[in-house]
A = this chain, B = another copy of it.
Amino acid sequence: MTLTIQELAQACDAQPQGGDPSLTVHSAADIMSAEAGQVTVLSDNKYKKYLKDTQASACFIANTFNIDEVPAGLTLLRCDDPEICFLSAVGTLHPTAKIEKQISPQAVIAENSTLGDNINIGPFSTIGQHSRIGDDSDIYAGVHIGNNVSIGKHCKIYSNAVIYDNTVIGDNVIIHSGAIVAADGFGYKYRNNQHIKVPHVGNVVIADNVEIGANTCIDRGALGSTTIGAGSKIDNLVQLGHNNKVGRNVIICGQSGISGSCTIEDGAILAGSSGIADHVKIGQQAVVMARSGVSQDIKAGAQVWGSPAKDRKTAWKELAALSKLPELLKKFKELQSRVEKLEN
Chain A residues with a Cβ under 8 A of chain B: 28-30, 33, 81, 83-84, 87, 90-91, 94, 96-97, 104, 106, 108, 122-124, 126, 129, 140-142, 144, 147, 158-160, 162, 164-165, 174, 176-178, 180, 183-184, 186, 188-191, 193-199, 201, 209, 211, 213-215, 217, 219, 222-224, 231, 233, 235-237, 239, 241, 249, 251, 253-255, 257, 259, 272-273, 275, 277, 290-291, 293, 295, 307-308, 314, 317-326, 328-329, 331-332, 335-336, 338-339, 342-343
Which residue of B is nearest A97, CB measured? B147
Q: Are A178 and B180 in contact (CB under 8 A)?
A: yes
* Interface contact A251-B188, CB-CB below 8 Å: yes
Contact B147 A140 (CB under 8 A): no
State the oligomeric state as a number of copies.
3
Q: Are B273 and A224 closer than 8 Å at their CB atoms?
A: no
Contact of A87 among B193, B196, B211, B323 (CB under 8 A): B196
Contacting pair B83 A108 (CB below 8 A) = no
Q: How far is the CA of A213 from the CA of B216 in the complex (A)?
A: 12
With contacts A215-B215, A217-B236 known, is A254 near B141, CB below 8 A?
no
A160 contact set on B, CB distance < 8 A: 142, 144, 160, 162, 178
